[in-house]
Amino acid sequence: MADRPKGSAEGENRPALSLHVPEPKFRPGDTVDFSHIEVPEAGSMARPDEACDPAEMRDLAYGLVRVLGDDDKAHGPWDPKLDADTLRAMLSHMAMTRAFDERMFRGQRQGKTSFYMKCTGEEATSVSASMALAGDDMVFPSYRQQGILIQRGYPLIEMINQIYSNKGDKLKGRQLPIMYSSREHSFFTISGNLATQTPQAVGWAMASAMKGDSRIAATWVGEGSTAEGDFHSACTFATVYNAPVILNVINNQWAISSFSGFAGAERTTFAARALGYGLAGLRVDGNDALACYAAERWAANRARANAGPTLIEFFTYRAEGHSTSDDPSGYRSAQERSEWPLGDPVMRLKNHLIALGEWDEERQEKMDLEAAEHVKKVTKEAEANGILGHGLHHPFRTMFEDVFEELPWHLREQADQAVHERQTKFPEGLPEA
Amino acid sequence: MSETEIKDAPEQAQGTERRLNMIEAINDALDVSMGRDDDVVVMGEDVGYFGGVFRCTAGLQDKYGKTRVFDTPINECGIIAVAVGMGAYGLRPVPEIQFADYIYPGLDQLISEAARLRYRSAGEYVAPMTVRSPFGGGIFGGQTHSQSPEAIFTHVSGLKTVIPATPYDAKGLLISCIEDNDPVIFFEPKRIYNGPFSGYYDKPVQPWKKFDASVVPEGYYKIPLGKARHVTEGDRLTVLAYGTMVHVVEAVCREKGVDADILDLRTLVPLDIEAIEASIERTGRCLIVHEATRTSGFGAELSALVTERCFYHLEAPVERVTGFDTPYPHSLEWAYFPGPIRIGEAIDKILKD
């Protein structure tokens, strides 16, 4: 124990302090009981005016906006009243996202790439939210929003080329798999450094406002990453400049092996953080595709009307491991996934469409099958461009390009060295693919 | 552009010649750039209404409005990050970090984001931003108003690092940085904001207007990045320096009557290697001077490059004169600062045989 300052005997009769270290409710092997999670009735939360004062939104930051009830019907003022075609499109993007994840995960296990991350159970938080934005609104995602790219019509083959780091990879094999970038789809380049995108999104939104543009920005961040200082920067700048931005927090309960308590969830909600900044704060059932859409649409309308930024907490559950490098059985109960009180976003939307008489199990089965077949077909096409480590990558010289706009002398020299090494290894020329 | 003293220089002679100090030159560069390009925006702590704690942004908000020149929260991470986002949108932000000593909260955004945006997105997104920040000591700034952290940035691929040593260069280089499509760290040696500093701290400092390098053309001009400036031409030894130390080393060489080839590097990345090689091939001797701490400082890179590329021309070991490997002290500033004694002894050592 560190010595007290000399001559300080004062504190000797005081009670001993103790450090609180958060501990998740359930560890491997434990029986899971989620009854402590409050799940309000669908339709029970009020829907304030989009231009309202954030101070009026206290209940929404601590509550849970839900639209889809146990009866699979839409309820209350947050019902976005989408037509059946839109709902079917939403369901199909979510199904495609899930099928894509399944195949890419398998691809990693087969050694076709080094790494993959699924978003299983969180599809609504990207697909539905993205559908509520305009296609040219700029999104600053984290690594678990592949649903946005799929919803925005980014070609699957581009995604797979990137995952395989092959000669078709637009990012020239420079980036770890799933760190996509598509300017054409207003999808910002993904960084491995957590939460950095959140104040960047605010800056983009500020720029749009400075220029009198009409586009807004939206960013996604996990609940674990909200502990980063960048998230505080984002909230502060967003409020100070009334930036037209939406800060989406995906609270999927887990940051790799750390439960949300290590980001502060034991004492408050993530949406409630908004209150202290003077941001509009909404807490939403992240497995309710209609609630996700409605909340994002509310925030988008607010931003577009210059009424200010919004922080949305999507309350959901990371159904799979953190990544292909992670085994969740080492830190959490396997029962959590099946006991999760908010169910599965794809199933809930499917059941809603069936309840509306606009869908059936047969069509669902067909859609799932078609999605799997489509991904499989595109995967084959992408494999023709090569898989990781099989030689069909970009020329060595490209490694040195784009560090700067132009190659300075030191990079020219290093590029020559790399090419020389290549020629030394293959004196007869490059081996045929 | 040597700092030849002009005796009895008439102020604003005939109204055609303007003599500016470095602060005014930087202000002028920002003004010119903002006037030419609506996408140039200036932001930082106290830069707006107040015009900056060093006055570098004085008058700009009045002239260009609050959406082009504005104050920010005290949050360096946020300042750099929103500049990255603005760059991604298509603006050309010029954020200010009040002191280089306070750039560290923004390092993740600079190193992981700004520097790598072009590379990781294969050119889809770029960060055409210029981070201005006063740096360097010699002003009794103590530990947190004196640092020279340039080596942190020169070590990062994707960043350019630029340091002016005169008002003329400050304006021309800053305009080049703002127009450059890569992220640039622009360190302003605050010791020489008002006048060049000889290192003889017990002698009065002369204002910039007494020196030719304070003649700053009106309007637009650029000094290319990656090009060193010959401060003096000489044959006995090559001196590589930048910022405040250019003036200190020039004064010492003048005092000692050493015929030195002094290069003001101006841009550390990309470096003007051709000018360095050409000089050392002629002189055969090399002294490197910087104020930053020694170990892993930029001088180590310069020394390695000179040794690798000019080895057969060298007639003496390359010497480095730097700050000591301690935090920047307050009361012992002049014992820390690489001043005339340290530089003079290094020159003697290089020239002894």
Q: What is the pLDDT of residues A372-419, one digit of tens each?
A: 999 999 999 999 999 988 877 788 889 999 999 999 999 999 999 998
Whether A356 shows a pLDDT value over 50: the answer reads yes
B89 and A204 in contact by Cβ < 8 A? Answer: yes
- Position A336 scores a pLDDT of 97
Q: Is the Cβ of B129 closer than 8 Å to some Cβ of chain A?
A: no
Please report which confidence band the pLDDT of residue A12 belongs to, taking 50, 70 and 90 as the band edges. Answer: confident
Beta-bridge partners for B189:
B135
Q: How far is A394 from chain B (nearest CA, A)?
A: 12
- Position A390 scores a pLDDT of 80
- Position A396 scores a pLDDT of 83
Reported as half-sphere exposure (CB side, CA atoms, 13 A), residue A157 has a value of: 11
Work out the percent of chain A whose per-residue pLDDT is above 70.
98
Beta-bridge partners for B133:
B187
A203 and B118 in contact by Cβ < 8 A? Answer: no
- How many residue pairs bridge chain A and chain B with CB atoms within 8 Å of each other? 143
- Calculate mean pLDDT across residues B180-205: 96
Q: Cα–Cα distances in Å, from B147 out to A41, A229, A323, B284, B327?
A: 59, 24, 41, 32, 8
Q: Contact at 8 Å (CB) between B242 and B266?
A: yes
- Calculate mean pLDDT across residues A44-55: 97
- Calculate mean pLDDT across residues B59-73: 98
Q: Please report the ipTM that was assigned to this predicted complex.
A: 0.96
- Calculate mean pLDDT across residues A256-266: 97
Whether A289 shows a pLDDT value over 50: the answer reads yes
- Coil, helix or strand at residue A299: helix
Please report which confidence band the pLDDT of residue A11 belongs to, taking 50, 70 and 90 as the band edges. Answer: low
Whether A368 shows a pLDDT value over 60: the answer reads yes
- Position A5 scores a pLDDT of 80
Please report which confidence band the pLDDT of residue B84 belongs to, taking 50, 70 and 90 as the band edges. Answer: very high
Q: Contact at 8 Å (CB) between A51 and A309?
A: no
Which helix (DSSP H) or strand (DSSP E) does residue A245 occupy? strand A245-251
Please report which confidence band the pLDDT of residue B2 belongs to, taking 50, 70 and 90 as the band edges. Answer: very low
Q: Contact at 8 Å (CB) between A433 and A392?
A: yes
Residue of A nearest to B159 (CA): A404
Tokens 């934005």 found at: A133
Overall size of chain A counted in residues:
433
Count Cβ atoms within 10 A of the Cβ of residue A370 and give its class: 0-12 exposed, 13-18 middle, 19 or more buried.
middle
- Position B7 scores a pLDDT of 39
- Position B13 scores a pLDDT of 46
For A188-218, write each residue's pLDDT tens digit: 999 999 999 999 999 999 999 999 999 999 9
B233 vs B162: CA distance, rounded Å: 22
- Calculate mean pLDDT across residues A44-66: 97
> Side chain identity at B193, as an amino acid letter?
Y
Nearest to residue A47, comparing CAs of A74, A24, A84?
A74
Q: Is cis: bond before B167, omega within 30 of 0?
A: no
- Coil, helix or strand at residue A366: helix
Displacement of CA B149 from its chain's centroid (Å): 11
Q: Contact at 8 Å (CB) between A78 and A288?
A: no
What are the catalytic residues of B?
145
A210 and B68 in contact by Cβ < 8 A? Answer: yes
- Calculate mean pLDDT across residues B159-185: 98
B81 and A230 in contact by Cβ < 8 A? Answer: yes
Could you count the other beta carbons within 10 Å of the beta carbon of residue A317? 23
Interfacial A residues in 79-138 facing B (CB < 8 Å): 138
> Which of A182, A200, A232, A239 best tests the B interface by mutation, with the highest count of B CBs <10 A?
A200
B248 vs A352: CA distance, rounded Å: 77
Work out the percent of chain A whose per-residue pLDDT is above 90.
92
Would strands B267-269 and B160-162 be described as parallel, antiparallel, or unpaired?
antiparallel
- Position A430 scores a pLDDT of 67
Please report which confidence band the pLDDT of residue B17 belongs to, taking 50, 70 and 90 as the band edges. Answer: confident
Could you count the other beta carbons within 10 Å of the beta carbon of residue B341? 11
- Which range is least confidently modeled, A5-9, A130-134, A236-240, A356-360? A5-9
- Which range is least confidently modeled, A274-288, A402-416, A417-431, B216-230? A417-431
Query: Which residues in chain B touch residue A138, judged by CB atoms under 8 angstroms apart?
Result: 88-89
A237 and B78 in contact by Cβ < 8 A? Answer: yes
Average pLDDT, chain B: 95
- Calculate mean pLDDT across residues B158-169: 98
- Position B3 scores a pLDDT of 42
Please report which confidence band the pLDDT of residue B322 belongs to, taking 50, 70 and 90 as the band edges. Answer: very high
Whether B12 shows a pLDDT value over 70: the answer reads no
Interfacial A residues in 337-376 facing B (CB < 8 Å): none
